A = this chain, B = another copy of it.
């Protein structure tokens, strides 16, 4: 059993706390939040020590690993504290909204060999992973095209948007990572369109967008398309399509159950898809914890680490540059 501390007890932190408490290989040892009542609530719910000084957690010999789910601007600091203390961390994405801060953090890390796992949970989804495994096993021959459809059920509240850092850094960041995961290679060219179609007024005030389409290409010509929307009323839409010379693989959406309805107006009608990431990626979040525990126990390098977090952000930066300049941007322009 690994003793895990959770930093940050907001929506995503509480979900992680619950998962760690329920996971067979982990104990929820401690929780922390700058807003103490949030930590207390989570601590009570899942039976964990509430810590008021985060430094205690980094110093404690009883903590085997730390999950960072605090506000984005604190991620890099906590990663650096973890590196100093030698504690393995599983850090929610993104590392930081500012690529220069991320690069400084990378420099800080350089030379040491810390366990830093990035919270790109979708890599652990059984469907996405089975699709990638089949592709890597040669089932579809040479990969040519990847299409990622990724749509949230609805617009987040204004307060969320104000802190999120923009659609491409907040939401598409997962898809940039999945694109790298599925392409099994680095995109070198990026083009992006994004604009406000769902809530132009709110987006206008926040200089934000809510609907996006992106194209990317690797050095050897493999093509990737990502589409995003903040509104999919039929449920959280998370699909990946891989086209190769010998076939295609689709990783699709899940429903709450397998009932189909038939009547005078329709046939085969199913329930809407699972509502959002907590439901859709439930298994992925648990598998992510398992992978983290495995790294802690064996001292191995995470499957998805700091550099993956940085590269996804670089793609977001390239996409923003493309949006502004109306042209294809080479990724090397950013790094």
Show the binding face of A for B, using Cβ within 8 Å. 22, 125-127, 130-131, 134, 139-140, 142, 144-145, 147, 149, 151, 189, 191, 193, 195-198, 211-213, 215, 217, 221-225, 227, 229, 231-235, 237, 241, 243, 245-273, 326-328
Contact = CB atoms under 8 A, between A and B. Distances in A.
Nearest to A328: B326
Nearest to A131: B259
A215 B215 CA distance: 8
A231 to B, nearest CB: 6
Nearest to A325: B327
A259 B252 contact: yes
B233 A263 contact: yes
Nearest to A257: B127
Given A191-B193, A257-B127, A267 B262 contact: no
A262 B248 contact: yes
Contacts of A235: 267
B270 A267 contact: yes
Nearest to A132: B259
A272 B273 CA distance: 21
A222 B269 CA distance: 25
A295 to B, nearest CB: 24
B261 A272 contact: no
A211 B223 contact: yes
Given A251-B259, A259-B252, A328-B326, A223 B271 contact: no
Given A221-B195, A263-B140, A263-B234, A213 B327 contact: no
A138 to B, nearest CB: 11
A267 B145 CA distance: 18
Contact of A259 (B211, B249, B273, B327): B249
Given A263-B234, A267-B271, A243 B151 contact: yes
Given A227-B147, A270-B269, A245 B233 contact: yes
A271 B130 contact: yes
A144 B269 contact: no
A263 B243 contact: no
Contacts of A328: 191, 193, 326-327
A257 B266 CA distance: 12
Contacts of A221: 195-197, 211
Contacts of A268: 268-270
B260 A249 contact: yes
24 contacts: A130-B256, A130-B259, A134-B259, A142-B197, A149-B241, A191-B328, A193-B217, A213-B215, A232-B243, A232-B248, A233-B245, A247-B262, A247-B263, A249-B262, A250-B260, A251-B257, A251-B259, A262-B272, A263-B272, A266-B270, A267-B273, A269-B269, A269-B270, A327-B327
